[in-house]
Amino acid sequence: MTDNGYEPKIVAFLCNWCTFTAADLAGTSRIKYQPNIRIIKVMCSSRVDPVFILKALLDGADGVLIGGCAPGDCHYSKGNFYARRKVALAKTLAQNMGLDTDRIRLSWIPASEGPKFAGVVNEFTEKIKKIGANPAGQEVFI
């Protein structure tokens, strides 16, 4: 399961109404997935400030997942579309700072899709393992 023992740490900002609920559902359906993810609840994916994403990476997170409702399903109507822009902005900034933008992922996972949530987490964890540890977390990084 682990590649040479490296266990990345992934921070996930999930919207309360869809992806957080999907994570709950993965739990109640006892779907096993990679243990590296740490979930932080926000009410809507649009609450995720690009600063959160960058700060997570600078504080040593190896990956940041942002989860929101499927297009058209955001509890607040269109928050997820704003989230998409904010994540795009965060990626641009991350790139300028020399961070790997593949460490940032936005996924739209409906509340009813526990298996999809587990799938995304596994996929993303595998990817981060391939990319390797985030240098920003290891040493002084400017």
Partner 1 sequence: MRESIPKIGVYVCHCGTNISGKVDVDAVSQYAATLPNVETARNFKFMCSNPGQQLVIDDIKEKGLNRVVVASCSPRMHEKTFRKACQTAGINPYYFQMACIREHDSWVTEDPDQATKKAKDLVRGAVFRVTHHQQLTSRVVDINPNVLVIGGGIAGMQAALDIADGGKKVYLVEREPSIGGNMSKFDKTFPTLDCAACISTPKLVAVGQHENIELMTYSEVIDVSGFVGNFKIKIKQKPRYVDADKCTGCGVCSEKCPSKVLSEFDHELTNRKAIYTPFPQSVPNTRVIDADHCIYFKKNRCRLCEKFCEANAIDFEQKEKIVEVDVGSVIIATGFETFDPVTISQYGFGRFPEVYTSIQFERINNATGPTSGKILTKDGRKPESVAIVHCVGSRDKNHMKYCSRVCCMYSMKFAHLVHEKTGAEVYEFYIDIRSPGKGYEEFYNRVQEEGTHFIRGKVAQITDIVDSPEDRGKLVVVAEDTLARKVRRIPVDMVVLSVGLKPSSGIEDIVRMVGISLDSDGWINELHPKLGPLATPSDGIFVAGCCQGPKDIPDSVAQGQGAAGEALSLISRGKLEIEASVANIDPEKCMGCRQCEDVCFYGAISLNPVSFVCEVNEAICKGCGNCTATCPNKAIELKHFNNDEILAEMEGILFNFDKFQGDFNQDEIKPDIIEPV
- The stretch among 2-10, 13-21, 32-40, 123-131 that binds ligand FES (CB under 6 A) is 13-21
Judged by CB, which is closer to ligand FES: 57, or 109? Answer: 109
Distance, C-alpha 128 to centroid of its chain: 11
- Report 53-112 residues binding partner 1 (CB under 8 A): 55-56, 59-61, 75-79, 82, 86
Q: How far apart are CA 112 and CA 117, in angstroms?
A: 10
Using CB under 6 A as the binding rule, whether residue 44 contacts ligand FES is answered as: yes
Instruction: Please give the torsion angle defined by the CA atoms of residues 47, 52, 57 and 58, in that order, rounded to the nearest 10 degrees.
Output: 180
Q: Which tokens sit at 46?
A: 């649009």
Neighbouring CB atoms inside 10 A of 9's CB total 17
Contact set with partner 1 (CB under 8 A): 1, 7, 9, 11, 16, 20-21, 23-24, 26-28, 30-33, 35, 38-44, 46-52, 55-56, 59-61, 75-79, 82, 86, 118, 137
